[in-house]
Amino acid sequence: MNLSKSLYTKAIQCPKALWLKKYNKEVLTPPDATALARFETGNVVGELACKLFPNGKEVIYNPDDFNGMVETTKEWIEEGLEYIYEATFLYNGILVLVDVLKVTPDGLEIYEVKSSSSVKDIYLHDVSIQLYVLKQLGYSVISSNVVHIDSSYVRGDELDLNGLFKIVDVSDEVNTLQVDIPKRLEEFELYLADRDNEPDIDIGSHCNKPYECDAKEYCWRVQRNIPEYSLFNIFNLGSKKQIELYEQGIVNIEDIPDGYAMTAIQKQKVQNWKEQVTFVDEENIKDFLNTLNYPIYHLDFETFQQAIPEWKGISPYQQIPFQYSLHIEHSDGIIEHKEFLGEDGIDPRYELAKRLVEDIPIDVTVLAYNMSFEKGVNAKLAESFPEFTDHLLSINENTKDLMFPFQKKYYVTPEMQGSYSIKYVLPSLVPEMAEAYKSLNGIQNGSDAMNAFPKLPSMSPKEKADTRTALLEYCKLDTLAMVEVLKKLKKVIE
């Protein structure tokens, strides 16, 4: 059947995805920059985790000679080598590479390394197929384990691997899954036996769980012509109401019956889309604007995360701010701009916090879009640098959320598609600003910025200079966009 453990878990999510990967992979959406960065992180974490199991040997990956990898693994097991990295086994067309295999006098131990901060259900299927293959080959497996990042770990002066990683024994769970594997493999083999006809599997919650499937665009847009904004945006995918309407052949929001039972917010979304009108609650917008006092400090942070913290005081996957933009709007209409971008290769937090308290006085109105993010970053900075604590917490106390009137449905347009995300609000209210993002060079969204900053140390001088300029231009546009959105809100009550 030629099945790897990654293809097996893909088939667990959806057998059609497996079939497409085998026979029609051209329709699959290639991984974006964020996904590629996640893969790279996984590789780095995997290599580091091997140091928990020292003095082992790695089976060198050779896609042209899996049999050779299998033989090498077998020889090292027979020699009694304690730790084997990428131990390779092949049974009945199923190929598995065990991240770390421990060889003991009593049997083998499996260690699957993941860069996430918890054990997910899909990981159990990943380990279970490894266990299945080893057992079918006659090996005695005495434990199965998942090694993952412990997000509660805080780095000290040196990296403590035993603190960074958590080892979880999942033997009971994966042993329980063994009974279903032969039936699953038989099902997958039946699907793959028909090379001409892809499986007839409908869309559903499995398209997004545990990961967004790389066939989703094909299955949803190409095969079923489901629009970007559909009933799936009104009801949660997989909800009873969504399934009920979908099974009746209803996909478009305008086809939802007028008398269909919905919550008040759902009804408003549907009605607004059907009538294609803009709803504005002038009184509540006025009340919101009255909470803002000039000068208004429009603030936006850019952050990145590290699975393996490089600097003291940082936890895995902590949001590390490296940049901010600040547009200061005065009552007479004058706009000032201030900004900060950390130096690459060093911890940017202290210098950023120092500049931030210089740029934002105590007791002024700070405006953010989705303020919980900015306030969370500020709170962490306040915790990390006591000399700035009072000032940073004061900033938080005076922070208002520009998202609030859209979240509360005080201002709704059809173009917002029922969302209050800036991704939909901005092009609806200030379309020229949305176009300005598309003209940016290299950095056009938060994900681009998050991926670019940690790569600066490895760039050539010119590439680094260009990327730093692009980062500054992008972040500046974020707060300028907030100025323009606020201006639209003001016009409502003029």
Per residue in 282-322, pLDDT (tens digit) is: 999 999 999 999 999 999 999 999 999 999 999 999 999 99
Q: Which residue has the tokens 């231009």?
A: 473
Strands, E, within 160-286: which ranges?
165-169, 279-280
Residues 280-314: b if buried by 16+ CB within 10 A, e if exposed: bbeeebeebeeebeeebbbbbbbbbbbbbbeeebb
237 pLDDT band, cuts 50/70/90, is: low
Please write the tens of the pLDDT for every residue from 336-362. Answer: 999 999 999 999 999 999 999 999 999
Task: Provide the pairing of β-strand 365-368 with 399-401.
Answer: parallel
Highest mean pLDDT among 256-270, 395-409, 436-450: 395-409
The model carries a pTM of 0.91
**H helix runs in 14-141, sequence order:** 15-23, 33-49, 66-79, 121-136
Which pLDDT value is given to residue 442? 87
Calculate what percentage of the chain has a pLDDT beyond 90: 86
**Helix, strand, coil % (nearest 5) of the chain?**
50, 15, 35
Could you give the CA distance from residue 125 to residue 215 in angstroms, rounded to a whole number? Answer: 21
Is a pLDDT exceeding 70 seen at residue 174?
Answer: yes
Per-residue pLDDT averaged across 86-93, rounded?
97
Per-residue pLDDT averaged across 43-56, rounded?
96
Q: Are 53 and 233 in contact (CB under 8 A)?
A: no
Is a pLDDT exceeding 70 seen at residue 1?
Answer: no
Please write the tens of the pLDDT for every residue from 375-388. Answer: 999 999 999 999 99
Is a pLDDT exceeding 70 seen at residue 441?
Answer: yes
Which pLDDT value is given to residue 418? 81
Please write the tens of the pLDDT for every residue from 177-186. Answer: 999 999 999 9
Q: Are 72 and 90 in contact (CB under 8 A)?
A: no
Cα torsion through 307, 312, 314, 316, rounded to 10: 20
265 pLDDT band, cuts 50/70/90, is: confident
Beta bridge partner(s), residue 327: 298, 337
Query: In which element (H, E) is residue 323 found?
Result: strand 320-329
Is a pLDDT exceeding 90 seen at residue 2?
Answer: no
* HSE-CB of 213 using CA atoms within 13 angstroms: 29
Is a pLDDT exceeding 90 seen at residue 191?
Answer: yes
Is a pLDDT exceeding 70 seen at residue 140?
Answer: yes
264 pLDDT band, cuts 50/70/90, is: confident
The mean predicted confidence, pLDDT, of the chain is: 95
Give one word for 425, left, alpha or beta, with left for phi > 0 and alpha for psi -120 to 50: alpha
More confident residue, 309 or 442: 309
Q: What is the DSSP letter of 31?
A: P
Please write the tens of the pLDDT for every residue from 74-89. Answer: 999 999 999 999 999 9
Could you give the CA distance from residue 367 to residue 12 in angstroms, rounded to a whole number? Answer: 45
Please, is 100 exposed, middle or buried when counting C-beta atoms within 10 Å of its C-beta (0-12, 13-18, 19+)?
buried
Which pLDDT value is given to residue 370? 96
- Whether residue 30 has a cis bond before it, omega within 30° of 0: no
Set out the domains of the chain in order of their start, with CATH numbers: 3-193 (3.90.320), 278-494 (3.30.420)
Is a pLDDT exceeding 80 seen at residue 96?
Answer: yes
